[in-house]
């Protein structure tokens, strides 16, 4: 008895749909690409419940006649290719003819469409790949697709979907990719009756600013290059907007979005020395290349592309980006022909030029050694002004002054022997470290790490019992976040609020209104970026997550830790030694080090 048999058509269609329609955003992508291929100039996308209930796309493209309005739902039915050679010179976004067939297999679809040269439009209703209704209808030119109850007949797939905010985040990202590729189109996105984007036609730079905020406009550096192999155009972001997480990084080839780690490395390499380690520059790069030299059909979602001459493209892209950064004075250059007047702030350009005045003492001689007999009240006041700290009234003062002026070591010794350090225990403060005597030699305490450990223990106790103390910001901090980070924020909103971070999301901006009171305002942005980067990594164990996020806040709060007086040193050490573990930070870095007498002795051999 044979065991191989043909699958029923409805099962085959659902399997095929699984490759094309992974989530609601897949539907939005396919419908928008079809609208672009149909020469639409205005595309309106209406979403309800993150696409679960409704995905509607209305365009003013070419539309379809009665026959095409039905056959477009057949598998492998396409208007994009006629011959096998067409696969190697594709200029359209869709070409396999599987999108609408796949959507129709797992949703209830209503299509209203009309060609501009026809007086009447056509209606098609289809469910589970079967046409349930068709006929004529009065409608506008173009196409109007309504995709209702996605995955209604595949409950397992529907249950697999994430929260509405996560799913809509994916929809928004697909919308943004197409919006960037086609700034000439008028694009509208509405979710649950709220307008998310209303993007008017314009140039690429304006489109980027409309999506990512007006402040982005002045942060863009143009990149242009043209060779026999490839034409490159677009923008990279200035180093100061580089992020700790991958944000605005967009590659397009022949106006098709794609991902490529190899070419991404070319951009990253061009920013070497300009951005901090583990930071990611922003870019919006468009490649134009002969379609026969790329393969776009190596991945079901068509986001991975194989280039025939990838090594040459890498070199050209690296060179073009470096040249752009140098041309706009982003990277260090020596240009003796540069017009320096452009560096003058505009508020000063109308002011008269005034020669700077320098006050000098013409009788000052650094090599002259004052005699004690030269001392008088006038010299005393001058010396007082020069920083000795008090007027010289006797010969002992004179000797002290003379030794200090000629020896930095004497100055340090003077401080160390000051009354402030006469109490026990003795803590000698040296900027980053505290030094004190101990049985075996000298104990060195790392001030910042000690502060970090103290803050960590305190924050963890507070976090377990109640939300961490937060302070309302005088003015909200506006932070433009990439779509992925917005999703992460919303998914972890309750956790972040318990940590003291409260804010609202408006389009692609996070408006932060409060932060943990333990953090200085200058450290808030860095701390928040590190937190989001941590939350992106889903593999972190839930039990360890709280420890890690508290550790980040503690580290941020201790970055500017310093001690100026003996009382502060004593308080820090007392707090530190009350902790169960006071020897290392959460990351395992040493807080205390002992330098033995023997080790000190070896320095003098």
pLDDT digits (tens, 9 = 90+) for 279-293: 889 999 999 999 888
Quote the Cα angle for 29-31-37, to 5°.
100
Structure tokens at 555: 């580290």
In a domain, 352, yes or no: no
- Exposure string over 265-299, b if 16+ CB within 10 A, otherwise e: ebbbebbeebbeeebbbbbbbbbebebeebbbeee
Instruction: Return all residues near 349 (Cβ < 8 A) that are at least 6 apart.
Output: 341
In a domain, 348, yes or no: no
Which helix (H) or strand (E) segment is 513 a member of?
strand 509-516
Structure tokens at 484: 């992925």
Tell whether the model's pLDDT for residue 531 goes beyond 50. Answer: yes
CB count within 10 Å of CB 188 equals 17
Structure tokens at 57: 């796309």
- Exposure string over 126-164, b if 16+ CB within 10 A, otherwise e: bbbbeeeeeeeeebebbbbbbbbebbebbeebeeebeeb
In a domain, 344, yes or no: no
- Asked whether the beta carbons of 335 and 326 are under 8 A apart, the reply is no
**pLDDT value of residue 27:** 95
**pLDDT value of residue 348:** 46
- The model's confidence at residue 406, banded by pLDDT at 50, 70 and 90, is very low
- The model's confidence at residue 150, banded by pLDDT at 50, 70 and 90, is very high
- Asked whether the beta carbons of 51 and 167 are under 8 A apart, the reply is yes
**pLDDT value of residue 349:** 46
In a domain, 3, yes or no: no
**pLDDT value of residue 532:** 77
- The model's confidence at residue 254, banded by pLDDT at 50, 70 and 90, is very high
- Same structural domain, 219 and 280: yes
- Same structural domain, 484 and 589: yes
Comparing CA positions, the residue from 262, 320, 309, 315 lying closest to residue 286 is: 320
Structure tokens at 497: 């609020």
Which helix (H) or strand (E) segment is 310 a member of?
helix 310-327
Tell whether the model's pLDDT for residue 408 goes beyond 50. Answer: no
Tell whether the model's pLDDT for residue 501 goes beyond 80. Answer: yes
Last residue of a domain, which of 417, 450, 476?
417
In a domain, 339, yes or no: no
Q: Which of 77-91, 233-247, 249-263 has the lowest mean pLDDT?
A: 77-91
- The model's confidence at residue 147, banded by pLDDT at 50, 70 and 90, is very high
More confident residue, 481 or 85: 481
- Asked whether the beta carbons of 586 and 451 are under 8 A apart, the reply is no
Tell whether the model's pLDDT for residue 343 goes beyond 60. Answer: no
**pLDDT value of residue 344:** 47
- Asked whether the beta carbons of 380 and 393 are under 8 A apart, the reply is yes
Could you tell me the pTM of the whole model?
A: 0.63
Structure tokens at 208: 């980027």
User: Which parts of 343-482 are beta strand (E)?
Assistant: 428-430, 433-438, 441-446, 470-480
Beta bridge partners of 187: 43, 199
**pLDDT value of residue 492:** 79
In a domain, 294, yes or no: yes
- The model's confidence at residue 203, banded by pLDDT at 50, 70 and 90, is very high
Number of domains present in the structure of the chain: 4
Q: Please give, one letter per residue, the 3-state secondary structure of 220-250.
A: EEEEEEECCCCEEEEEEECHHHCECCCCCEE
More confident residue, 46 or 273: 46
- Asked whether the beta carbons of 461 and 194 are under 8 A apart, the reply is no
Tell whether the model's pLDDT for residue 457 goes beyond 90. Answer: no
What is the spatial distance between Cα 183 and Cα 171, in angstroms, rounded to a whole number? 18
CATH number of 294's domain: 3.30.230.10
- The model's confidence at residue 91, banded by pLDDT at 50, 70 and 90, is low
- Asked whether the beta carbons of 434 and 447 are under 8 A apart, the reply is yes
In sign, the C-alpha dihedral spanning 342, 348, 351, 353 is negative
Q: Quick one: average pLDDT of 384-412?
A: 47
Instruction: Return all residues near 1 (Cβ < 8 A) that are at least 6 apart.
Output: none
**pLDDT value of residue 598:** 86
- Same structural domain, 171 and 29: yes
- Same structural domain, 267 and 237: yes
pLDDT in tens, 356-384: 666 666 666 655 554 444 544 444 444 44
User: How far are the Cα atoms of 160, 266, 365, 395 from residue 404, in angstroms, in the given order?
Assistant: 75, 55, 17, 14
In a domain, 574, yes or no: yes
More confident residue, 288 or 400: 288
- Same structural domain, 406 and 446: no
- Same structural domain, 383 and 315: no
Which helix (H) or strand (E) segment is 576 a member of?
helix 566-577
In a domain, 469, yes or no: yes
Instruction: Return all residues near 80 (Cβ < 8 A) that are at least 6 apart.
Output: 37, 86, 90, 92, 94, 95, 97
- Asked whether the beta carbons of 71 and 100 are under 8 A apart, the reply is no
Q: Cβ-count burial of 16 within 10 angstroms (0-12 exposed, 13-18 middle, 19+ buried)? A: middle
Query: Per 3-state DSSP, what percentage of the chain is helix, strand, and coil (rounded to 5)?
Result: 40, 20, 35
- Same structural domain, 190 and 252: no
% of the chain with per-residue pLDDT over 70: 72
CATH number of 530's domain: 3.30.1370.100
What is the spatial distance between Cα 193 and Cα 602, in angstroms, rounded to a whole number? 77
- Same structural domain, 309 and 268: yes
Last residue of a domain, which of 199, 230, 250?
199
Q: Quick one: average pLDDT of 459-468?
A: 74
**pLDDT value of residue 377:** 47
Tell whether the model's pLDDT for residue 390 goes beyond 50. Answer: no
**pLDDT value of residue 409:** 44
Domain carrying residue 298 = 205-327
Structure tokens at 469: 């103390």
- The model's confidence at residue 93, banded by pLDDT at 50, 70 and 90, is low
- Same structural domain, 23 and 114: yes
Q: Quick one: average pLDDT of 176-187?
A: 96
Q: Cβ-count burial of 328 within 10 angstroms (0-12 exposed, 13-18 middle, 19+ buried)? A: middle
More confident residue, 5 or 345: 5
CATH number of 175's domain: 3.30.565.10
Last residue of a domain, which of 147, 180, 199?
199
Tell whether the model's pLDDT for residue 82 goes beyond 60. Answer: no
What is the spatial distance between Cα 462 and Cα 553, in angstroms, rounded to a whole number? 13
Instruction: Return all residues near 305 (Cβ < 8 A) that are at least 6 apart.
Output: 253, 256, 258, 260, 294, 295, 296, 298
What is the spatial distance between Cα 326 and Cα 478, in angstroms, rounded to a whole number? 30
Average pLDDT taken over every residue of the chain: 78
- Same structural domain, 509 and 383: no
Residue with tokens 């022949």: 254
More confident residue, 425 or 551: 551
- The model's confidence at residue 338, banded by pLDDT at 50, 70 and 90, is very low
- Exposure string over 389-412, b if 16+ CB within 10 A, otherwise e: eeebeeeebbeebeebeeeeeeee
- Same structural domain, 390 and 258: no
**pLDDT value of residue 547:** 74
Comparing CA positions, the residue from 414, 415, 382, 398 lying closest to residue 566 is: 415
pLDDT in tens, 532-585: 777 765 545 555 666 777 888 888 878 777 777 777 888 888 888 888 888 888
- Same structural domain, 505 and 568: yes
């Amino acid at each position: 008895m044979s065991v191989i048999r043909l699958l029923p058509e409805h099962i085959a269609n659902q399997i095929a749909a699984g490759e094309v329609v992974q989530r609601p955003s897949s539907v939005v992508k396919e419908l928008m690409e079809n609208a672009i291929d149909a020469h639409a100039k205005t595309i309106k996308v209406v979403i309800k419940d993150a696409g679960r209930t409704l995905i509607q796309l209305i365009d003013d493209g070419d539309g379809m006649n009665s026959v095409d309005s039905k056959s477009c739902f057949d598998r492998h039915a396409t208007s994009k290719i006629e011959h096998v050679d067409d696969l190697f010179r594709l200029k359209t976004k869709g070409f396999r003819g599987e999108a609408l067939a796949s959507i129709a297999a797992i949703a209830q679809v209503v299509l209203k469409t009309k060609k501009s040269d026809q007086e009447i439009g056509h209606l098609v209703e289809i469910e589970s790949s079967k046409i349930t209704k068709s006929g004529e209808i009065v409608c506008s030119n173009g196409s109007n697709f309504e995709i209702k109850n996605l995955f209604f007949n595949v409950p397992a797939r529907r249950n697999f979907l994430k929260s509405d905010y996560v799913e809509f985040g994916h929809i928004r990202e697909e919308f943004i990719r197409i919006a960037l590729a086609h700034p000439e189109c008028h694009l509208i996105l509405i979710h649950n009756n709220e307008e998310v984007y209303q993007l008017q036609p314009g140039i690429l730079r304006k489109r980027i600013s409309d999506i990512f905020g007006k402040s982005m406009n002045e942060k863009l550096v143009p990149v242009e290059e043209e060779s026999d192999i490839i034409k490159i155009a677009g923008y990279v972001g200035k180093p100061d907007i580089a992020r700790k997480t991958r944000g605005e990084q967009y590659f397009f080839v022949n106006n098709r979005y794609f991902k490529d780690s190899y070419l991404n490395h070319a951009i990253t390499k061009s920013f070497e020395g300009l951005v901090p380690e583990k930071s990611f520059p922003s870019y919006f790069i468009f490649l134009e290349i002969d379609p026969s030299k790329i393969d776009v059909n190596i991945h079901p979602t068509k986001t991975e592309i194989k280039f025939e001459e990838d090594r040459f493209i890498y070199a050209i892209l690296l060179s073009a980006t470096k040249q752009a950064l140098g041309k706009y004075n982003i990277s260090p250059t020596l240009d003796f022909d540069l017009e320096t007047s452009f560096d003058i702030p505009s508020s000063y350009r109308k002011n008269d030029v005034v020669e700077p005045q320098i006050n000098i003492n013409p009788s000052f001689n650094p090599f002259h050694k004052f005699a004690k007999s030269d001392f008088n009240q006038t010299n005393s006041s001058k010396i007082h002004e020069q920083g000795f700290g008090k007027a010289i009234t006797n010969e002992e003062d004179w000797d002290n002054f003379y030794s200090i002026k000629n020896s930095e070591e004497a100055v340090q010794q003077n401080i160390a022997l000051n009354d402030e350090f006469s109490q026990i225990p003795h803590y000698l403060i040296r900027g980053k470290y505290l030094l004190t005597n101990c049985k075996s030699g000298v104990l060195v305490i790392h001030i910042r790490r000690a502060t970090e450990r103290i803050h960590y223990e305190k924050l963890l106790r507070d976090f377990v019992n109640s939300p961490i103390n937060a302070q309302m910001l005088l003015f909200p901090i506006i932070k433009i976040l990439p779509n992925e980070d917005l999703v992460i924020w919303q998914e972890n909103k309750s956790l972040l609020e318990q940590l003291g971070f409260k804010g609202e999301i408006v389009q692609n901006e996070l408006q932060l209104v409060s932060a943990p009171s333990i953090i200085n305002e200058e450290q808030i942005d860095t701390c928040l970026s590190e937190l989001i980067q941590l939350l992106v990594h889903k593999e972190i164990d839930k039990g360890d997550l709280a420890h890690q996020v508290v550790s980040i806040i503690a580290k941020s709060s201790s970055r500017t830790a310093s001690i100026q007086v003996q009382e502060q040193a004593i308080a820090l050490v007392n707090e530190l030694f009350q902790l169960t573990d006071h020897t290392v930070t959460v990351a395992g870095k040493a807080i205390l080090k002992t330098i033995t007498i023997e080790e000190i002795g070896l320095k003098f051999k």
